[in-house]
Structure formats: C-alpha cells, structure tokens
Amino acid sequence: MGDQGTHAAARPLRILSGVQPSGRPHIGNYFGAMRQNIELSKRSDAFIFIADYHALTTIREPKKLAEYSLGLAKDYLALGLDPGGCAFYRQSDLPEVCELAWILSTVTPMGLLERCVSYKDKMAKGFAPDHGLFAYPVLMAADILIFNAHKVPVGRDQIQHIEMARDFAQRFNHLYGEPVGKTFFTLPEAAIEEHVATLPGLDGRKMSKSYDNTIPLFAPREQLKKLIFSIVTDSRAPGEAKDTEGSALFQLYQAFASAEETAAMRAAFADGIGWGDAKQTLFDRIDREVAPLRERYNDLMAKPAIIEEQLRDNAVALRERHATPLLRTLREAVGLRDLSKAGDAPKVEKEQAAALPQLKQYREKDGKFYFKLADGDVVLLQSIGFENPKDAGAWVARFRQEGGAALSAAVASIAAQTAEAGAALDALKRAEDERAQSKTG
C-alpha cells in the first residue's frame, strides 16, 4: 500500500476519496472523482474506498449492495487503479470510522446538518429522512479525518460536506487540543476539476442515480447508444446554429474530448450540425474511450475472491497503522480512559505535560546542528542545518519565549512546517509561562 508514515512535515500529499456503491457508477462519478483519484494515486499517498456504510442510507436490498460493492471494486481495477500502489479498501472493514463518527457527532451542531444542501434536497423530494441520511456528513468527515487527508477529489456536490469535515476537525482540535497544545486533525480541502465538476445527465439536470438520468460508465455498446440518442436537446433543425452553453450534449462531449476535438465540436455547433450527427459523434467518442475498459471489466468477472482478499488485507493494515492508534489517542483525549489511572490528579497533569509538543535541538550525521518541534511522531517544524550550535539554540530559546509569534522572523531558518506549528508553539509558551509563574508565585 502507498502508505508513507505519519510525519506531517515530511508527509507527501495525501488524497482520499470514496464512491458509494449505490448503483452502477456513471460518467459523472468517473469524471468528478474516479479518474482524478486514479491519476493522483500515481503520485501521492492515496486512500480510495468503497463507501458502503454510506450506501446503506439508500440501498435496502442486501444482495444488491454486495453486488454494487463488488462492481465498484472491479470498475476501479478496470479503470487502471493499482491496488498495490495505494490504499484501496472498503469502508465497512474499518469499524473505527463509525466510532470516530460518533465522537465527531458530539461536536456537531444540529443546525449545521440541517443546512446541508443534499439533506434539504432529499427532504424536498419527499424522502422520509432517517438518522443515517441526516448524519451522513458526520460519517463522511470521519472517513476523511481518520487518515488526516489533505485533499479530497470530488465533484461539486460534495464540497459542502468537505467544508463540514473541516469545521468538525477545527471544533475537535479546539475543544480537546487547546489545553494541551495538541492538534488531532489536518483540515482537508476539496480537489475539484472545474470543467467536469457537475456533469449533466440525459435530461440536462446534474447526472445522478437519484434522478434516474445517468449514463453508466460500463453500459454495453447498444445501451450506450440508446442512452446517448435520448439526451434532451432543443428543437433547432440541422443547419441552424446551436448553443454550446447549457447543452448537456456539448458538456458531456468536452469531458471526453481533447482541446482540439472540443474546439471542432464548438465550430460544428456554430455551423448548425444536426442533433443526430452530434449524438453520433458523442457516442463514437465515448465508445472509443470505454470499449477497452469494458473488456477489462468483463475479464475481471471471475475474480471476486481475489478482490475480497485484497480489500480485507488492506483494511487490516490500515487499521493497524492508522485507525487503531488514532482512536487510542482520541479516546485518551476525550477521557475514555483506563480507569485504574483515573482520579490520580498529579499523574494526569504529568501526562498532559508529556503530551505537549517538544522542541528539540540535535546534531545530524552531516555535522550540522538542527532543531525541530515534534508532537510524538509527528514533526511540526523542522529547521535548516546550522554550522554553529548556538544558532539553533537561539531559535529554540526565542520560540520558548515568544511562541508562534516568532515564526515570521524565522522563515529563513525553517526547512518545513505544518499548519499546526504556530498553535503548538503558543501552547508551549503558555506552559513555560505557567511553570515560571508557579515558581515565582
């Protein structure tokens, strides 16, 4: 798996994204997320998963849910995902995600969930809301935060959920991190590819399983043709110039096409291409792209046991390396603790002091002198190498005195730093101040 450890400063870009197995993936899912995920997994630390806990909010047929989950795993493999080069897993193999969702739900204001667009949308369509649907963004935040992902490649409809995940992370960091200068969660950001962030469906509305207007990515050739010829267009006759703006057909074409092909189609629209010809061109373009994938997909038919084994093995490793240690830290932070140590006030204080990040000065094999700020295993701040130990020492002393305020003056002496470094330095300074005060007082 492409798991590169937990050092924040040295950590490569970590991406994470899930797709629900709530039907067969469609072209919107492919361009909005799956294609980006696969591309990014080649050059970053990638976590790509089957969001089957989430699909429980819509799929009530157990057999179907299992079929869709297998189908989605095969889709990813057929699309070229290298399961050895990234963390490819199934959400429900990580029960810690649910535990984290519960912990996060205790810092989630109801009002925030009530304002969630996708929830309001479903309500407006007459869905009888259950708690799963309402709490959906909390579970999604847990997916992202459990691996401290930096970027989340998604379509536009998921941006609000990712903003909520940031919000929950911030709240938790603030509530439980401030007193001991600890930061538990990285704040994630959505990664959007603008021109395909909301692909339209056959009727011109957003392509969505719930609107029944999708073009399944691996639709057989004949079905693909039928669907494409059913795309809604206006009534302009051949020879009349057509608008690309607002045309579902044009938007779908540009998702697949190169810049030159898109320019040619734009010109054809202006020249009055007939809708039949435009649909045929779109069909040919899509079919050219997906025909080899369809074949790969069909070849994978016979290997569900291998897929199952891979997903399980990956989840075991992910739990061991990430989920279990993180939940241990979080349980400790919120007070779900070993009772044999409860009530022992001096010891708890000591534990909190030990939980403070540490500023360390040291010498490397290159003979130079360095300092770093580390929170357990995680490096929050890393200096450049100094020829003279006094230079490293002077910065350590200054950070102790001034906290994060000294960071801007130290820019040239810092090789790497995380977003959490400033807050951690402030916490250290506070602890130093308190210690000094208790000595004098």
User: Rounded to whole angstroms, what are the CA distances from 87 to 80, 318, 378?
Assistant: 14, 8, 21
Determine which one of 206, 225, 303, 368 is catalytic.
206
Bridge partners (DSSP) listed for residue 15: 46, 151
In the residue annotation, 209 being an active-site residue is answered as yes
Considering only residues 140, 169, 219, 228, which one is a binding residue for ligand TYM as defined by CB under 6 A?
140
Residues 199/27, Cβ–Cβ less than 8 Å: yes
Considering only residues 9, 11, 18, 311, which one is a binding residue for ligand TYM as defined by CB under 6 A?
18
Considering only residues 54, 122, 242, 319, which one is a binding residue for ligand TYM as defined by CB under 6 A?
54
Does the protein bind ligand TYM through residue 33 (CB under 6 A)? yes
Name the one range near ligand TYM by CB under 6 A: 11-19, 77-85, 99-107, 229-237.
11-19
CA 89 to chain CA centroid, Å, is: 14
Residues 213-252: x/- map of binding to ligand TYM (CB under 6 A)?
----------------------------------------
> Least distance from C-beta 224 to ligand TYM, angstroms?
17
Strand (E) positions, 171-308?
Answer: 189-191
**Distant-in-sequence, close-in-space partners of 69: CB < 8 Å, separation ≥ 6:** 21, 50, 52, 55, 90
Determine which one of 74, 182, 209, 242 is catalytic.
209
Compute the 3-state secondary structure of the chain and give helix, strand, coil in percent, each to the nearest 5: 60, 10, 30
User: Rounded to whole angstroms, what are the CA distances from 112 to 78, 207, 434?
Assistant: 38, 26, 37
Strand (E) positions, 185-311?
Answer: 189-191
3-class DSSP assignment, residue 143: helix
Q: Which 60-79 positions form the footprint of ligand TYM (CB under 6 A)?
A: none
Bridge partners (DSSP) listed for residue 369: 363, 386
Does the protein bind ligand TYM through residue 424 (CB under 6 A)? no
Does the protein bind ligand TYM through residue 155 (CB under 6 A)? yes
In the residue annotation, 206 being an active-site residue is answered as yes
Residues near ligand TYM, by CB under 6 A: 16-20, 28-29, 31-33, 51, 54, 140, 143-144, 152, 154-155, 157-158, 161, 196-199, 206-208
Catalytic sites, residue numbers: 122, 206, 209
